Amino acid sequence: KQEVTQIPAALSVPEGENLVLNCSFTDSAIYNLQWFRQDPGKGLTSLLLIQSSQREQTSGRLNASLDKSSGRSTLYIAASQPGDSATYLCAVRRDYGGSQGNLIFGKGTKLSVKP
Amino acid sequence: EPEVTQTPSHQVTQMGQEVILRCVPISNHLYFYWYRQILGQKVEFLVSFYNNEISEKSEIFDDQFSVERPDGSNFTLKIRSTKLEDSAMYFCASKTGLTYNEQFFGPGTRLTVL
């Protein structure tokens, strides 16, 4: 059974710092991996999607990497800002015939960027 | 930019009552999903829907739950007889027909069962 783990559960950094959020998954047979941002009491905003054949994706100050064989992904945030404060969720989509792509989520890393 | 919308944003109901949560997926999307998040817990998959039928469901999605696409735009989740443990944030998501594309999530409906 696929399990997704995110470490650390919470992270507090000063503004301007570069940081890395970690995601690990137990079954390497994934179709893709998606990183989301969730603000308190709000929905999920998709940040980056990495296909299983890709090694990384970039969007602005965000860079996500994927090492499928070791079951790991990282989300790198450059030059963090207070507006980056949120919970970051990692989710994997299973890869098996007939799957309509339901996502399996980690519990998230709660990021706080102090001014 | 197109987005998934959900109504209501917050629903309070008494235990045993029926509730219907509504979603309007992005218009050209073909795959639809419901997920839920109990406070402090992971987001969990409930059900996926394609071509007017359920394509996959989790063990959470028992006989108390049903989904429907009553017209060309709405996608609903019905809970027939709510329990206290159904209290959660319910998210609708949708995706295009391309298998590799990402899922887009709505803002959620917070369901409180008293």
pLDDT in tens, B43-87: 999 999 988 999 889 999 999 999 999 887 899 999 999 999 999
pLDDT at B2: 81
Q: Is the pLDDT assigned to residue A76 strictly greater than 70?
A: yes
> Which range among A4-18, A88-102, B35-49 shows the weakest confidence by mean pLDDT?
A88-102
What pLDDT, on a 0 to 100 scale, did the predictor assign at position A25? 96
Cβ contact B45–A101 (<8 Å): no
Provide the pLDDT for residue B89. 96
Please name the amino acid found at residue B40: G
3-class SS of residue B84: helix
User: CB-CB: which of B41, B44, B91 is closest to A43?
Assistant: B91
pLDDT above 60 for B106: yes
* Residues facing A22 on adjacent strands: A7, A74
Shortest Cα–Cα distance, B113 to chain A (Å): 17
Strands (E), chain B: 5-7, 10-13, 19-24, 31-37, 43-50, 53-57, 65-68, 75-79, 88-95, 104-105, 109-113
Nearest beta carbon to residue B42 from set A42, A51, A107: A107
Contact present, A77 and A15 (Cβ < 8 Å) = no
8 A C-beta contact, residue B95 and residue B102:
yes
**Cα–Cα dist A13/A108, whole Å:** 16
